[in-house]
Amino acid sequence: MDLKQLTYFVTIVDYKSFSKAAQKLHISQPSLSNAIKSLESDLGFQILDRNTRSIELTEAGAILYSKAVQLLLEMDRVKKEMDEVKHIGSGEIQLGMIESVKHWIPKVILQYNDDFPNMRIKLTEVLSGDDVKNSLRNYKTHAIITNQFIQENDIETIPLYNEKLVLVLHESNPLTNNSSVTLKDLVGEPFIISSEGFQTREDVLNAFEMEDIIPTIKYEIERFETALSLVREGIGITLIPENYLQALPDNTLVKKSINSPALERTVYLTYLKNRYVSPAIHTFINKTKQYFNVLPV
């Protein structure tokens, strides 16, 4: 049994077809079939049931599949770490982030480029808590800036700063004339809120719950940009991070602060504790900490 055979086996299971797996692996179907037969011969038991119209795992095959997936994932991680060992001042940083950081992340990148001008930086949105953990553990990102507090033994979570959630409404909404706005004033207003699984949604609902108020949730969104587009049309109101509005001056939008301790959140920098990263990537992490006066480790 070797890694190539396990790769063939996992690919067949994932594609549920010898022909599709062979095409993916760029080998002939007979060669693939022979490789699986050889694997079964080495193991001494059948791992695939070929008597049905689709490929099915035997009980033993299901156990092997689970172990093989983990082994191949770990080998992929080792390969990525070894690739990073080779790249001291060049390569790529994969950074996950939430929407509201885009007003300051370019400033950190500008400072970083002075030291490592050859590094490529890939920015992707990583929003829910599960996505943060999966992205880090699967080596899809080196670090993630998130509003999720991640409490895991293998993940470092560093608080960077706090930000407020503010009310955003259309200029025609009568609430814009109020000198101050409370959560109770929002009762009956069509509310735009983040989808389930997002920390912003939990923060907002917690704020309403503290006031014993049930919001009228009319629209659910995944991006603040979508929320603002709905507000611009005057069909709803929303609560979003104040920092997000810095890059979006718009005369049709009015923001109002609401006095509620629940409408504040912390933004964190997260990364795997024991993952090797090149000096170039470690420098980027430290520059992010230094930007918010968080001492580097």
CATH class of 3-85: mainly alpha
Q: What is the pLDDT of residues 131-181, one digit of tens each?
A: 999 999 999 999 999 998 999 999 999 999 999 999 999 999 999 999 889
Instruction: Say if residue 84's pLDDT is above 70.
Output: no
How far the first Cα of the chain sits from its last, in Å, is 43
What confidence category does residue 89 fall into, taking pLDDT thresholds of 50, 70 and 90? low
Fold of 163-265: D-Maltodextrin-Binding Protein; domain 2 (3.40.190)
In the chain, ranges of CATH 1.10.10.10 domains: 3-85
Instruction: Say if residue 13's pLDDT is above 70.
Output: yes
The closest of 284, 295, 268, 293 to 113, measured between CA atoms, is 284
Confidence at residue 297, expressed as pLDDT on a 0 to 100 scale: 46
DSSP tag of 26: T
Confidence at residue 278, expressed as pLDDT on a 0 to 100 scale: 81
**Per-residue 3-state assignment (H helix, E strand, C coil) for 53-95:** CCCEECHHHHHHHHHHHHHHHHHHHHHHHHHHHHCCCCEEEEE
Instruction: Say if residue 21's pLDDT is above 70.
Output: yes
Instruction: Say if residue 238's pLDDT is above 70.
Output: yes
In the chain, ranges of CATH 3.40.190.10 domains: 87-160+266-291, 163-265
CATH number of 87-160+266-291: 3.40.190.10
Instruction: Say if residue 247's pLDDT is above 70.
Output: no
Mean pLDDT of 13-34: 89
Confidence at residue 77, expressed as pLDDT on a 0 to 100 scale: 76
Stretch (H or E) spanning 281: helix 279-291
Indicate the pTM of the whole model: 0.67
Query: What SS3 state is found at 201?
Result: helix
Confidence at residue 295, expressed as pLDDT on a 0 to 100 scale: 60
